[in-house]
Amino acid sequence: MTLSHIHRFEPGPSSKGLLLLHGTGGDEHDLIDLSRAIAPGAPLLSPRGQVREGPANRFFHRMAEGVFDIPDLKARTQALADFVVEAGRTYGIEPPVALGFSNGANIAASLLLLRPEVLSGAILMRATLPFEPDSLPDLAGKPVLILSGQADPMAPAAKVERLANLLRQAGAEVRHEVLPAGHGLLQRDLELARDWWAESGSADILSAS
């Protein structure tokens, strides 16, 4: 069966794992090593963004840096959600936890706002609020980790805090950590994500393998 997105799938001993969503210029291989360090043994579903910005892959169009094409973002969020459902049936995996960086974290946040049923949680690295939702989804009990950079020019602090508050209002169990960083990732991001995975119960899905 041919799925809608070019992707990489790495099986694991559980039916639930990670959905890897790369940043601008990345591809389906970018977050594999990071995710293995965060969640050893988890199955990995890693699609490639379908938008091209020059030579760079992205998950949705933007008008300028920090200015998103909202209709395109919402349409591609729906298409990505459909892919996650298709892949779940194909590979026999449950709704995954999204692990997104930058552009990938933004579409992961959009998935939470528009199609929350396809995810069981999210790790959002350097995300911003993708758009103001018309209404809040039901995110009751979904764990979400937001890792933001104190000096990140791509994700203003006010917008990141707005995202965290909206997700909390929707019922998600949100942990927001602000790191002494810009848009790039630090070793501390990996450590916090690894600890969150173990503490949030996500690691329990790998039991008795």
Cα angle, residue 20 at apex, residues 16 and 22 outer, rounded to 5°: 175
Q: What is the DSSP letter of 118?
A: G
Using CA atoms, how far residue 163 sits from 10, 66, 124, 147, 192, in Å, is 30, 15, 11, 12, 19
CA gap 172, 206 in Å, rounded: 22
Q: Which residue in 174, 76, 176, 74 sits closest to 133, CA to CA?
A: 74
Q: Give catalytic residue positions.
A: 102, 152, 183
